[in-house]
Amino acid sequence: MATTGDIRNGLCIEYNNDLYMIVEFQHVKPGKGPAFVRTKLKNIKTGKVVDNTFSAGHKINIQRVERRAYQFLYKDDMGYNFMHTETFEQLGIVEEMIDAPELLKEGQEVEIVYHADIDTPLSCELPPFVILEVTYTEPGVRGNTASSTALKQATLETEATINVPLFIEQGEKIKVDTRTKTYSERVKE
């Protein structure tokens, strides 16, 4: 059994009979009173983030998780289908387990997090950035903006819609941040 001294980002713990990943933590030693650890916990099944405070030395139950490399194949009525990159074993998972399903492109490499003790998939994580082509966007008109950070809507090859700067044209490739689902930069060929 571990204690709050073992807490680190990315650690998977059992909390309230559910699995949570530690997103952020801070050890606090106030001038008066006992020390404590302030944490942000992300529910692995629902994705909901909750704040929690553990007193110093509190026992926590660490859960073993594994990250396995998979490749996205296709989407059908049953869900999203992936193939393990080493064993070529196929796996189907539901949309709720994927961080940003609208940014998934066929052939995309992802990591599927497994609960090691019972060998079941918990979540699917995309890489931090993906490169996608803009399939449709209105032409940007110079001079019709009141600020220097003008944005317009763009549809990507995965049918996702995000805001991009006015200079982005149809057919260009852009880098998209999968965590915030926002434009990052233009990709030069």
Q: Which residues contact 147 (CB under 8 A, 6 or more apart)?
A: none
Tell me the per-residue pLDDT of 108-148, one tens digit each, with 9 for 90 and over: 999 998 888 888 888 888 999 999 999 998 887 666 555 55
Q: What is the pLDDT of residue 147?
A: 57
Instruction: Count CB-CB contacts under 10 A for residue 110.
Output: 22
Rounded to an integer, what distance in angstroms lies between the CA atom of residue 132 and that of residue 154?
Answer: 11
Could you tell me the CATH superfamily of domain 129-186? Nucleic acid-binding proteins (2.40.50.140)
Nearest CA to 44 among 146, 125, 141? 125
Q: Assign domain 2-62 to a CATH class.
A: mainly beta
Q: What is the pLDDT of residue 69?
A: 93
pLDDT (tens, 9 = 90+) of the chain, 189 residues, equals: 788 888 888 888 998 888 898 989 999 898 888 999 999 998 887 778 899 999 988 899 998 888 899 999 999 988 899 999 899 999 999 888 888 889 999 999 999 988 888 888 888 889 999 999 999 988 876 665 555 578 889 999 999 999 998 888 889 999 999 888 899 998 887
The tokens describing 35, both together, are 């020390």
Rounded to an integer, what distance in angstroms lies between the CA atom of residue 29 and that of residue 20?
Answer: 24
Alpha carbon distances (Å) from 38 to 13, 52, 75, 188: 15, 6, 39, 42
Q: What is the pLDDT of residue 90?
A: 92
Across the beta sheet with 49-55, what order do the strands follow? 2-3, 59-62, 12-15, 18-28, 36-43, 49-55
Sign of CA dihedral 116, 121, 126, 128: negative
**Run of H or E residues at 131:** strand 129-137
Could you tell me the CATH superfamily of domain 65-125? Nucleic acid-binding proteins (2.40.50.140)
Q: Which residues contact 143 (CB under 8 A, 6 or more apart)?
A: none
Q: What is the pLDDT of residue 175?
A: 93
Distance of CA 56 to the CA centre of its chain: 30
Extents of the domains making up the chain:
2-62, 65-125, 129-186
Q: Do domains 2-62 and 129-186 have the same CATH topology?
A: no
Q: What is the pLDDT of residue 141?
A: 67
Q: What is the pLDDT of residue 96?
A: 83
